[in-house]
Every structure is written in structure tokens, then in C-alpha cells.
Structure 1
Amino acid sequence: MKNSLLTLLAFFISFTTWSQDQEYSTVIPVHDPVMIKEGDTFFLFSTGRGIAVWSSPDMKKWKREEAVFPQPPTWATDVAADFKNHIWAPDITFHEGEYFLYYSVSSFAKNTSAIGLVKNKTLNPDSPDFKWEDQGIVIQSVPGRDLWNAIDPNLVFDEEGTPWLNYGSFWNGMKLVRLGDDLKTVQNGPDDWYTISKRERSFELDDRNPGDGAVEAPFIFKKDGYYYLFVSFDYCCRGVNSTYKMVVGRSKEVQGPYFDRDGVSMFEGGGTLVLGGDKDWHGVGHNSAYEFGGTEYLIFHGYDAKDNGRSKLLIREMNWDSEGWPIVSLEN
């Protein structure tokens, strides 16, 4: 675990110290990327100090923007005492005239975690309306109380327009909770909480230990009457030793159950492989998925085998086979 933490720290330093004065770059160091378009500009948010932000006119060349949080969220150290404004795994949505950006505050390898929400009327930093306003905690996990980890959020709306937040990493799997109309208040009725993906652990469940049921980073993408649940299996953040890979299942209902191509439930460890690492990229994962201009894309990070395992942004077109399953290639 010590070596893993040192490796992870090296990666975090490599991309959080990236010069904000640089011109556009075609190769950018990221973890856990999500993307949205405002006007003619694409904005990418990723794990980093204060939440890393990039902008691009074409999804090919990128410019570093100011972080969302120059100073840590005021509540963060109450959740994780060792928090140093390194914010994980954001998720961005435009809804009813505002941008909703969810984010994760956590202690590494612990479920001492919380998902927060910050809002803005625009992503254009030159606009007079540009101002990030933190909304505080959406949901929190506590060791000794919860068998899940409140990180890696993703917002999705069902066919009736009801908002749901899916999230999770290790422990007892990926959770789905219904939100109120404010997109912040968690509903607590018997039909408001679901486990939508998990993997078997080799030892008894312990709410203070993540275990080896390596699944995290859920993202739900709607297409042709199905909800497609992407998750990442195995291990990130280990450079050339990373084993990350992306798998998928689908359901007609946002609550699931989600089944893979072979009919195995993701609640029982199922998941059809979408993309794994190869000789050039040792571990690829923590994806998001979007449609821009009639083309669908998978957005994710991978560890570059030719650059000492550094984590970098990867964007690939997503196609579909005759049975409605995604096809993605690492070849660009």
C-alpha cells in the first residue's frame, strides 16, 4: 500500500503542477476526465488540485484554465482531516440554465468521503456571470457506518426526468440514489437506493477496508431505450503496473438490474469488456461518454507505457454492434 500511495502521489504532482501559463497542448495529464460543451468550446474537468479545468475548440488541443476551487471547500477537512484540496472525479451536467459540477473529497483507500456540488451559470471565465458557488455536501460515507464509498459521482435523468446519482468505489459496490429536484437532496424512501454493480470479495466484508472487489467509477449513458452502465474494473494509479479496464452492462430501467452481453448481472460481478490496456497503454479506465455533433465518444485516461506510465487523456469514437453493444478501439 505504501508503494501504491507514493506512486499515486507522483502522478498527482505531475499533473497538478502543470503550468497554467502554457499555450494549447495536444497531450494533457489527467485522471478521471469528464467533458461538456458550451457554445463553440469544450470544457474538460478532472481530478486535480481544486478540480483541474481545460478548454478546447476541437477536443484536440487543450488550454489549462483556473481551478474551480482556488481554496479548499470550507467543509472538506471536517470530512477528511488530511484533505489538501486535491479533489477527485468530478461530473458535469447542464440543467435548467446552470452547470452542476459534482466532486469527491476523500482520504485515499478509506471511505472517509463525501460528494459535494458546486454550480455556475457559465463556464466562460470571461463572462460577468462566471462564478462558482459551492452547495456543500450531497452525500457522505463514514467508516464504521457505511459499506460503500461516496466518491466517483455521475448524474443521470430517467425517462420521467427524475434525477439519480450513481457513485462508488470498492466496498459493497456502486450505488444509485434518487435526488430531489434541487439535484442535491438525497431521497431516503425504500425505492430510492439501489446497488447496481459489485464484485465478489475474497474475504468477509469490512466497512473499514476497501477489499479486493475492484470496481469503481460508474457512468450511465442513455441510448436507444437502454441505460448503459460503464464501470472500471481492477486497479488504477500504478503507472505501468495499472490493470484498469472498462466494462459495461445495460438495463431498460435506470435502477437496473444491469446485465452484460452474456446475461450476467452486474450485481453479481458481470460486465462486458469495452476496452482494456495494451502494450502502449497499461490500464485504461474511469470513463465518461457523450454525444457531440452526432458522434459518440468515450472519454477516459490511460497510463502511457512509453512515458513512464504517466496518466493522459484519451478520447475515442464509440460505435455500436448489431446487438447494441459499444465498440471502442485504442487505435486513434
Structure 2
Amino acid sequence: MKRLRLAAVVAAALLALLPTTATADVSYPDPQPITGQQIIHDPTVIRLRSGDYVAYSTGGVIGARTSKDRVHWDDAGNAFAEPPSWWYEYNDTGDPWAPDISYRAGTYWLYYAVSSWGTNHSAIGVATSPTGLPGTWTDRGKVFTSERTDTWNAIDPALIRADGRLWMSFGSYWTGIRMVELDERTGKAVPGATVHHLATRPDAPYAVEGPYIVKHGRHYYLFASYDACCSGVNSTYKIRVARSTKVTGPYVDSTGKPMLEGGGDLLLAGHGRYVGTGGQSVFNDRGQDWLAYHYYDAEDQGTPKLGLNRLSWEKSGWPNVR
């Protein structure tokens, strides 16, 4: 019996020495209950200055949802009445993907991607609005592009301010996640900007995409979607995270493994009816960080729906979902 007790003490001591990881509970939390229009893909959410909420997403001409309480969501049509003509350079239907909304200098900025499935002939564009509401956006054209000769893919944009400068992370497959500096005035890539490399996977097809970076404490945290989306209940999307003291990296997980070598702590994965969690973004609502993402509902024929969870921060500095 003494030996058993000793073994238990030793095991507990060894467990205490293991690194603190940025993982959710082993069972993973369900998204908060929401009502109304739940269908969404690649959501970006913001609390407007009016106090209401708006979410934009892949689908339609950048599909829009609005809410007054972050619980009940209404279909609000699309950001645009029709696709800007230049979108058709990148696909036959003028179909935009993966928007990102932000607010600065009295203006709302909506970034988005246009591309064709399976190619890196892609472009990131931007629009501005005084209110952030659908139907009020003015398109400002291309921000950054990629071609078949490039080793990156200009989709899935996400903005962050760091050290008084404006940065945009982006990327999908084609060696993973990249970053460029933007001009504060135009919101477009600085001419000749260095393309920084933030994350990749060891093997083709380098399945990491959908970056989103936030600052907490002295670190920048890079959230990204790993594996495969867009296959309904067969999707394998999951959200991983790593951090850096510099916005341009290097980003490492809690074990010290760089994201450029396939690292990243598992934050949220599919569970139960909530399959393929990913396409994430982070927004702040009155001091509380929230993780927004889509999942494929296994109890509703794999329909993509909005997931919202509180994002908390451990004493170690790593994020957790509640």
C-alpha cells in the first residue's frame, strides 16, 4: 500500500512538471446556445458602436447576420448588393470568402478574399463603411494578390495593430500562413512589403489556414485552423494556437515547438454533434474575449452553424475556451 501511495505521489509530481498547454477541457465545451439564423461559415463578428452585433461570413455576397444580444441572430442579407466587377477575375461567380471586420479611425473595414477552389490565383480586397452594417459598404479594391508562381495563397485575411503599425495575416495551404504590413491610410499592402512566414505543416498539402492574431499581455497569439474544412460531417477542422513576443513571429506552442514546424496547441476540436470546428476569429465584447467559429451540425445533415465560446486566459498566459 505504501508503494502504491508513493507511486501516486511521484505520478502527481511528474504531472505537475508537464508544461501548461493551451487546450480546452478534454471533452471540449459546446458552443453557447443561440437562436434565429444560425447558418454561417468562416464568421467574423464585431460589436458595433451602436451596441448591436454583426457577423459576416463566406456565402452570398458576404453574408450578414445581426443581433442585439449576441444570442438571437437574424439574417441581414449581404454586405454588397452585387459583386464588384473585379471579383470575376478570380472566379466565374464573383464568390467571396472568409471576411474580417475591424474598426479604426472612425471607419469600419471589411477585408475578404476572392479565389477559385484549389488554386492560389487569389486576391484579398477591402471595403469601408461608416456603420458596419450590410448595404453600407464601399469597395476599395485589391489589397494583396497571389499568383500560381507564388508559394503563398492570398485568402483568409485578418488584421492586427502592433507597435503602431498595421499588419495582415493571411494564408491557406501553399506553405501555410503569411503576413504583410499594410498602409494605415489606404488599408492596402505597403508596396514591396516583406512577406513574413508564420506557420506551416511538415508535409503537403500543408493544411493550415484561417489565421487570426490577438495580443494578450506581452504575447501575440496566432489561432489557425488545421486539417480539412468544407466536407460537412466528414470535415476534420480543428483550432490550434501558438504565441510570440513579436507579431511577425516566431510562434511556438507550449512545448516550444514552432508553428513553422507544425506546432500548435490544440484549443478546440470536433465533439458530439459539433464537427469540424474552425474558420475562427476573436472579438472583444465589453472586456470579454469571444471565439467565433463554424461547426458542421451532425444532427442537421452537416449544416455549417455559428459557434460562440468565451475565451479565457490562464495564469500561464495561454487561452482556453469555456
TM-score range, shorter chain: 0.7 to 0.9
Deviation of the 1:86 alpha carbon: 2.3
Runs of 4+ in 1 over 6 A off after TM superposition: none
Q: Whole-Å Cα distance in 2 between the matches of residues 176 and 35 of structure 1? A: 21
Q: Of 34, 39, 44, which residue of structure 2 is paired with 1:34?
A: 44
C-alpha displacement of 1:286: 1.1
Query: What is the percent sequence identity of the aligned residues?
Result: 40
Are 1:156 and 2:169 matched, yes or no? no
Residues 83, 105 of structure 1: 8 Å contact kept: no
Whose RCO is larger (CA < 8 A, sep 6+)?
2
In structure 1, distance between residues paired with 2:37 and 2:74: 10
Query: SS in structure 2 opposite 1:48?
Result: coil
Shift of 1:229: 0.3
In 2, Cα distance between the equivalents of 1:124 and 1:284?
26
Q: Aligned partner of 1:162: which letter?
A: R
2:142–2:188 CA contact under 8 A, matched in 1? no
Aligned residue identity for 1:152: D
Secondary structure of 2:72 counterpart: coil
Q: Hey, what's the Cα distance between the residues in 1 that align with 2:37 and 2:136?
A: 28
**Aligned with residue 138 of structure 1, among 140, 143, 148:** 143
Structure 2, gaps ≥5 residues long: 1-33
Q: In structure 2, how many angstroms separate the alpha carbons of the residues matched to 1:157 and 1:295? A: 19
Structure 2 distance, partners of 1:156, 1:219, is 9
Once residues 39 and 211 of structure 2 are traced to their aligned partners in structure 1, the CA distance between those partners, rounded to angstroms, is 21
2:125 aligns with 116
Number of the residue aligned with 1:174? 177
**2:239 counterpart of 1:246:** yes
Shift, 1:188, TM fit? 4.7
Compute the TM-score of the two structures, normalised by the length of structure 2.
0.86
What does 1:164-243 correspond to in 2, within 5 Å?
A: 164-188=167-191, 192-201=194-203, 211-243=204-236
Deviation at 1:310, TM superposition (A): 1.0
Equivalent position of 1:85 in the other structure: 94
The one-letter code matched in structure 2 to 1:224 is: G
- What SS is found at the alignment partner of 1:66? strand
Mapped to 1, the partners of 2:249 and 2:239 lie a distance apart of 19
d(CA) in 2 for partners of 1:71, 1:137: 17
Deviation for aligned residue 1:183: 4.5
2:71 counterpart (60, 63, 82): 60
Once residues 281 and 186 of structure 2 are traced to their aligned partners in structure 1, the CA distance between those partners, rounded to angstroms, is 19
Matched residue, 1:9: none
Task: Check whether the contact 1:102–1:118 (CA below 8 A) recurs between aligned residues.
Answer: yes
The alpha carbon displacement at 1:123 in A equals 2.5
Q: 1:279: which partner in 2?
A: 272
- TM (norm. structure 1) is 0.83
1:46 to 34, 40, 57: 57
**Distance (whole Å) between structure 1 residues aligned to residue 123 and residue 101 of structure 2:** 17
SS at match of 2:256: coil
2:260 aligned with 1:267: yes
Question: Which amino acid letter does the alignment assign opposite residue 40 of structure 1?
Answer: G
SS in 2 for 1:230: strand
Tell me if the contact between 2:87 and 2:95 (Cα under 8 Å) persists in the aligned partners.
Answer: no
Partner letter of residue 267 of structure 2? V
Structure 1 gaps of 5+ residues are 1-23, 202-210
Partner amino acid for 1:99?
A: Y
Contact in 1 for aligned 2:88/2:94 (Cα 8 Å) = no
Larger radius of gyration: 2
Instruction: Verify the 8 A CA contact 1:83 1:106 in the aligned structure 2.
Output: no
Give the partner amino acid of 1:138: V
- Is the 1:163–1:183 Cα contact (8 Å) retained in structure 2? no
CA distance in 2, matches of 1:185, 1:286: 23
SS in 1 for 2:260: helix
CA distance in 2, matches of 1:300, 1:183: 28
Q: CA deviation at 1:212?
A: 2.0
